[in-house]
Amino acid sequence: MTYTPDPERYDGRMPYHRTGRTGLLLPALSLGLWHNFGDDTAFERQEQILQAAFNAGITHFDLANNYGPERGSAEINFGRHLRSTFRGLRDELVIATKAGWDMWPGPYGKPSGSRKYLVSSLDQSLQRMGLDYVDIYYHHRPDAETPLEETMTALDAIVRSGKALYVGISSYTPERSREAAAILRELGTPLAIHQPSYSMLNRWTETDGLLDALEDEGVGCIAFSPLHQGILTNRYLGGVPKGSRATKGVFLSEDRLTPELMASVRGLHELAEGRGQTLAQMALAWALRDPRMTSLVIGASSAQQVNDSVGALRARDFTADELATIDRLCEASGVDVHKRERGDVNDLRN
C-alpha cells in the first residue's frame, strides 16, 4: 500500500529549531535508528514507526555506520524505507549518519578519526542507503591518536565533495569542541552540531560547560539518551520486565536500578502525573527546556511510543517548584548526575 503522509504534519505541532548559526532547522524531536531498525525487527514494524514519526513532523532521522545489531543493517533497512515509504520525499528529510567506532576488518576499519576511515565509511553508508549525500555527517567519538586537524580537514573535504551538507561531532569535551569549531571555521566549513548524552540523570553537559561552549561557538546541540536508557519511563516502575534492556545487561544492567534510584523515579513519575504527562514526556520536556538544545534523539519500538514522545511537546513549561522538585529527586537518586558516565562515549544511545 502506498504511504500518504499526513497533510497536517507541518501544522505547528512540531517546533523546528535553528541549528546553531547555520540555516538548518531541526524538529524538536528526532528519531534515532540505533535500536529496532536492524534485521532483528520486522520491516513492517519499522515502517509503522517511521510513518508515525513523519506524520508527527519528525523530519530528522539519525543513524550511524554501526547501528544494527548487525553493523550496517540499520542503514540498509533505512535505504529500503527511503525507496518505499519516503519515495519522492527526500527533500523533506534530514538524514544523518556517523562514523568513528569499529566497523570492518583490518587496521582501517577500527575506531578512528582518520581521513581514510571517515571517507571510506561515508562511501559505504551512502551505498547502503542508496544516497548521493547525507544532510549531517558526524565524527562519532573523540580519537586521541589522530590529530584533530586531520579529522576536521576530512570533514571539510567531505562537505566540499558534496557527500554531506553539514558536519558534526559527538561526545567531545568542551575544550575539544572549541578546538574543532575553530579549525573548521578557518577552513570555511562551520561545525554545525554536537551530539552529547543528556538527561535529568546525566547533566555533565551543564557542569562541564559544553552547552556554554557550543553557544559561544554557534554550534547546535542534539542530545541522545534523554530517557536515560529507558530508566526515565514507566517501564521499570513495577520491576524489571522480561526481555527489557536491563535483563540483557549490555547497555543497562539490573544492578543500576537501585532502590534509591527507583524511589526517585517513582517520585518523578508522580510529579509527571500531576502535570498530566507520562514520565517519559516530562523527561523529554525537561531536556528541551534550555533554548540551546536544538533537538532530542528519541528511540521507539512502536508507533505508539513515537506518539507518546511527541505528546511531550504539549506541556514544555515548568514552574520553579517543579524544577526544584526534579532537582531534589535526581540528587537523591544515588546517581551523580553531574559526572560524565563511562558509557557516555561508548554506549549510551537513544
Query: For the residues of 14-39, what is the DSSP string, one character each?
Result: S-EEE-TTSS-EEESEEEE-SSS-ST
Consecutive H or E run containing 193: strand 191-195
> For 265-307, what is each residue's pLDDT tens digit?
999 999 999 999 999 999 999 999 999 999 999 999 999 999 9
Task: Quote the domain boundaries for residue 301.
Answer: 16-346
Helix (H, G, I), strand (E, B) or coil at 223: strand
pLDDT band of residue 254 (cuts 50, 70, 90) is: low
Residue 156 to residues 26, 137, 239, 288, Cα–Cα distance (Å): 21, 11, 48, 30
Residue 6 lies in a domain: no
Q: Which comes out higher in pLDDT, residue 345 or 277?
A: 277
Indicate if the pLDDT at residue 343 is higher than 80.
no
Residue 72 lies in a domain: yes
CA 324 to chain centre: 26
Residue 223 lies in a domain: yes
pLDDT band of residue 345 (cuts 50, 70, 90) is: very low
Residue 2 lies in a domain: no
Residue 4 lies in a domain: no
Q: What is the DSSP letter of 232?
A: T
> What pTM, to 2 d.p., does this model score?
0.93
pLDDT, position 163: 98
Residue 11 lies in a domain: no
Residue 342 lies in a domain: yes
pLDDT band of residue 248 (cuts 50, 70, 90) is: very low
90 forms beta bridges with none
Question: What domain count does the chain have?
Answer: 1
Indicate if the pLDDT at residue 137 is higher than 70.
yes
pLDDT band of residue 253 (cuts 50, 70, 90) is: low
CATH number of the domain enclosing 118: 3.20.20.100
What are the respective helix, strand and coil percentages of the chain, to the nearest 5?
40, 15, 45
138 forms beta bridges with 98, 168
SS (H, E, C) 268-325: HHHHHHHCCCCHHHHHHHHHCCCCCCCEEEECCCCHHHHHHHHHHHHCCCCCHHHHHH
Residue 9 lies in a domain: no
Cβ-contact 39, 77 below 8 angstroms: yes
> For 8-65, what is each residue's pLDDT tens digit?
999 999 999 999 999 999 999 999 999 999 999 999 999 999 999 999 999 999 999 9
